[in-house]
Structure 1
């Protein structure tokens, strides 16, 4: 029996899925653009993730109601392992797609993956923007 439902955005191979299923959660939607990660996610969880979450046709498949939004949004734009272009990198702007999904669906809980350097990227301004949107615009604390 499920205790709660969740969606898994930028799902990779399903790290969030493993943890939340163990706690009694049921994944009701997954999205991952990388075809190899999609195959691994399917092998791990029996779900083929939808593709590009920036497309309206993919967003339209998200159920209206779910309890938890999980997003491992691409870290290359912020990580010390990447070019650190932040919101200037198209991968960095994917946070704003998450923002729109949160705004539309209003899940009870939002889990966003952290990445080394996110807090200090652009002298802390990137993290400040993310927190400002989550706390002040969307009212999540």
Structure 2
């Protein structure tokens, strides 16, 4: 990589995974910097279809049904952290929410298993203050 590319913020030849990918905001940002997506997951079928249309990459469905050791090695783990369990707009059941509260555990398991150099997790409104700050303390 040239000094010019490095100073422009390129992450050429880096690989990333895109968990809870949604429409692919992380994918868009890293692809523009020259990184390659090697795995994505998105539970919502409509969003998964749009992701494939936008990026030519079909996300796996529910991360809970993926053999985590089969996820390719990567430099960046990106996670569009499911916000409904923590946001004021959602039920605020937090880590105990049966629909998505435990998904953070999968992020941690993949981090421990694959040891990427970097991870980026979406900023979720109210995550720091949820449950009097206890949720943030648990996950940080």
Which TM class, normalised by the smaller chain length? Answer: 0.7 to 0.9
Matches within 5 A, 1:25-104: 25-57=35-67, 59-63=68-72, 65-90=73-98, 91-104=100-113
- TM score, norm. by length of structure 1: 0.87
Distance 2:44 2:88 in 1: 22
Q: Partner of 2:34 in structure 1? A: 24
* Cα gap change, 1:93 to 1:60, in 2 (>3 Å): same
* Runs of 4+ deviating beyond 6 Å: none
2:117 aligned with 1:108: yes
State the TM-score, normalizing by the size of structure 2.
0.88
Unaligned stretches of 5+ residues in structure 1: 132-141
How many residues align structurally?
129
Per-residue CA deviation, residues 10-52 of structure 1 (Å, 9 max, x unaligned), is 0011010000111111001011111000100011110010011
Query: How far apart are residue 3 of structure 1 and its match?
Result: 2.9
Q: Which runs of 5+ in 2 are unaligned?
A: 2-11
